[in-house]
Chains A and B, each alone.
Chain A
Amino acid sequence: MEFIHLVRDEIFIKRRRGLVLDFTPIQSISTDSALLLVSEMDRWRRATFQRRLRAINVDKWHPSVRTTLRDLGFFELLRLPNWLVGGNAEAPDGSKILKFRAGTGYGGKLAREVRIALEQIAGPIQTANFLHDGITEAMLNARHHAYPGDFRPEIPVIPEFWVTGAWHPAKRLLRIMVLDQGVGIPESIRQGTDPFHVKVMVWVAQKANLRNDADIIEGAMRTSRTSTGLAGRGHGFDNMAEFINNSADGRLRILSDRGEVVYEHGGTINTRLLPVSLGGTLIEWEVRL
């Protein structure tokens, strides 16, 4: 996250020209970090037409870093040709990653595309309907809450979300991620006035005095599971957890602003306050097929 903040600072605040990216020292990159990087590059590409960000020494980057970023679509955003970034070489560990998709959440077709693409790399997903439900909830959250009219971010945002998935065959691990660059769940709930938001803040106030970002996300998750008296609202987080509940094993992770909440199969919830803000929301499902 510190690196992402550095990139944002250099590009959008200090407006430096001629920046280069050299990941030669990096031995590995997680899919969620790579998606965050891709959304930043997409933000750069679409919001700053005059600044050119270059990647150098790509042939010296660790193969797993190169193939992860290549498959995700990172190099396409930087307009680097396929032959320069390793052609069609497979990832050293056999993992497969979907090229990112960006959207506004209109219509839901993107969820079907993601499901089909995931099943092409991982095989049939028996509980695909619950995966669909979780992804569409995340899309609708981004659509309805991430970019409110009075959102005044410090740097330009692209009011969309980014989706990817990954399959790790050795571990039979499937991961799906939805990321936005919006206001964040904690801030959205702090500012919200509908019954669900109010109920979450009541839960938080009873739990702890600090009301940090992680507490608020946990409150949203727990309130969603017992949502009554909310005029039909507040079921989204519960919906997101169903893919985990209906899998043999797995977890749902929500990072938003400085909060991280992990919901484990079986119902355990763990929270953590991050040292810096994500600057948006990342929702990640990880299940073992």
Chain B
Amino acid sequence: METKTMFKIARDFSSEPFGRYPSDGPFNGEKFREDILRPLLSRYSIVTVDIDGTEGYGSSFLEEAFGGLVRKGYFTAEDLRHHLKISSHAAAFRTYVTSIWKYIDQASNDRATA
């Protein structure tokens, strides 16, 4: 496994990530998870995702992209805390960092209680 990589959503995926599913549009959370995030986490020991520079992030996109990693059983929350870093330098975007980890933890709790 290679060591580390950084992925910048605004530059390398879309400046307008939107929705959960392909039926919502081309730059949806499921696509980001399945085509980008999951492969990177399987290939690199540390994946840093830079979230700055987009129009924003709806909860649907973030929950599907990040919470979905746990909800689908691909990784545990503990795995992600070791291997996933969320990077943001914009003050207004730091709330998304908190949200991402909230969705990951909620997905973990949901799996534990299911």
- On A, residues with C-beta under 8 Å from B are 105-109, 111-112, 115, 126-133, 136-137, 140, 143, 227-232, 235-236, 238-239, 242, 246
A107 contact from B25, B56, B58, Cβ within 8 A: B25
B84-114 contact mask (Cβ, 8 Å, vs A): 1 or 0: 0000000011010000000100110110010
Query: In the assembled complex, which residues on chain A have CB atoms less than 8 Å from the CB atom of B67?
Result: 232
Cβ B93 vs Cβ A129 within 8 A: yes
Query: In the assembled complex, which residues on chain A have CB atoms less than 8 Å from the CB atom of B18?
Result: 107-108, 111, 136
Cβ B92 vs Cβ A228 within 8 A: no
B65-77 contact mask (Cβ, 8 Å, vs A): 1 or 0: 0011001000000
Give A238's nearest chain B residue, CB to CB.
B59
Cβ B56 vs Cβ A130 within 8 A: yes
B35 contacts the other chain (CB 8 A): no
Complex CA distance for A111 and B16, rounded to whole angstroms:
9
Query: In the assembled complex, which residues on chain B have CB atoms less than 8 Å from the CB atom of A126?
Result: 92
Complex CA distance for A99 and B55, rounded to whole angstroms:
21
Complex CA distance for A111 and B60, rounded to whole angstroms:
15
Query: In the assembled complex, which residues on chain B have CB atoms less than 8 Å from the CB atom of A129?
Result: 54-57, 92-93
Cβ A108 vs Cβ B27 within 8 A: yes
A-B contact pairs, 28 of them (CB 8 A): A107-B24, A107-B26, A107-B27, A108-B16, A108-B17, A108-B18, A108-B19, A108-B27, A127-B92, A129-B57, A129-B93, A131-B56, A132-B56, A133-B57, A133-B58, A133-B59, A137-B58, A137-B60, A140-B60, A143-B24, A228-B109, A229-B109, A230-B110, A232-B64, A235-B59, A235-B103, A236-B59, A238-B59
Cβ A235 vs Cβ B63 within 8 A: yes
Taking residues whose C-beta sits less than 8 angstroms from the other chain, chain B's interface range is 20 to 34
Complex CA distance for A288 and B58, rounded to whole angstroms:
22
Min CB–CB distance A246 → chain B (angstroms)? 8
- On B, residues with C-beta under 8 Å from A are 16-20, 24-27, 54-60, 63-64, 67-68, 71, 92-93, 95, 103, 106-107, 109-110, 113
Complex CA distance for A246 and B93, rounded to whole angstroms:
12
Complex CA distance for A229 and B67, rounded to whole angstroms:
13
Query: In the assembled complex, which residues on chain B have CB atoms less than 8 Å from the CB atom of A136?
Result: 18-19, 56, 58, 60
Complex CA distance for A137 and B18, rounded to whole angstroms:
9
Most chain A beta-carbon neighbours within 10 Å: one of B93, B103, B110: B110
B103 contact from A140, A232, A236, Cβ within 8 A: A232
Query: In the assembled complex, which residues on chain B have CB atoms less than 8 Å from the CB atom of A242?
Result: 95
Complex CA distance for A285 and B16, rounded to whole angstroms:
21
Min CB–CB distance A54 → chain B (angstroms)? 39
Query: In the assembled complex, which residues on chain B have CB atoms less than 8 Å from the CB atom of A227?
Result: 106
Complex CA distance for A230 and B60, rounded to whole angstroms:
13
Min CB–CB distance A127 → chain B (angstroms)? 6
Nearest first, the 7 A-B pairs at minimum CB distance are A108-B18, A129-B56, A235-B59, A107-B25, A132-B56, A239-B59, A136-B58
Min CB–CB distance B10 → chain A (angstroms)? 12
Cβ A140 vs Cβ B92 within 8 A: no
Min CB–CB distance A5 → chain B (angstroms)? 33
Min CB–CB distance B64 → chain A (angstroms)? 7
Query: In the assembled complex, which residues on chain A have CB atoms less than 8 Å from the CB atom of B106?
Result: 227-228, 232
Q: Knowing A107-B26, A108-B18, A232-B68, say if A133 contacts B56 (CB, 8 Å).
A: yes
A108 contact from B25, B59, B95, B109, Cβ within 8 A: B25
Q: Knowing A130-B92, A136-B18, A229-B113, say if A236 contacts B55 (CB, 8 Å).
A: no
Min CB–CB distance A285 → chain B (angstroms)? 14
